Amino acid sequence: MIASGVAKRYAKALFELASEQKTVETIGKGLADVAGALESSVELRGVLENPKYLPETKKQVVRGVAERAGAPTMLVNALMMLTERGRLVHLRAISDAYQSMAEAQAGRLRAEVISATQLPEAYYAELERTLSEATGRKVQLVRRTDPSLIGGVVAKVGDVVFDGSIKNRLRDIRHQLLVAASPQGRA
């Protein structure tokens, strides 16, 4: 829970600065790009998480990643501050919180759709339309696949999860069978 609070505070400060400078989209993209680069590289994480590397070395590494990602100066400065304070471990959470603030300001809502396989474009379009009507906001779908679902769809809209997967349905059936077979369930 502490990480969430830390991430929200830094995201809010960065978002307010970006709003003042009218660079919300640019900062958001740069933040997501840098967070993705740091997450995807074992070597980068090794340098940043290892106490044997001096803070200046870590800052040089982060600056290099940010500049290669085309991050604006304001974001580079924020990343330097996060590195100095040992808060870079929260970068993904900061990026996610920032994106949520940007979407709320723009009247958009992100919905994550997870399916066992890719679904037809018509399905995604209809789901986006339905969710937009239900929420009264423009919904942006983030698509993922997870073969362990077997079939069906899981949709996450904000804090609400709609689980229509076969995996979930099988779990429910298993639970019902176990309850019915238990001595208390036969009463």
Give the pair of three-digit tokens for residue 166. 């076969």
Q: Which residues contact 120 (CB under 8 A, 6 or more apart)?
A: none
d(CA 112, CA 153): 10
Q: Among candidates 5, 65, 76, which has minimal Cα distance to 36? A: 65
Query: 44-61: b or e for each residue (b if 16 or more CB lie within 10 Å)?
Result: beeebeeeeeeeeebbeb
- The model scores a pTM over 0.85: no
What topology does CATH give the domain 2-103? Answer: Peroxidase; domain 1 (1.10.520)
Residue 114: pLDDT band by 50, 70, 90 thresholds? very high
CATH 1.10.520.20 intervals, the chain: 2-103
Q: To the nearest whole percent, how much of the chain has pLDDT over 90?
A: 52
Give the pair of three-digit tokens for residue 172. 């429910």
For residue 3, the model assigns a pLDDT of: 54
- SS3 of 163, please? strand
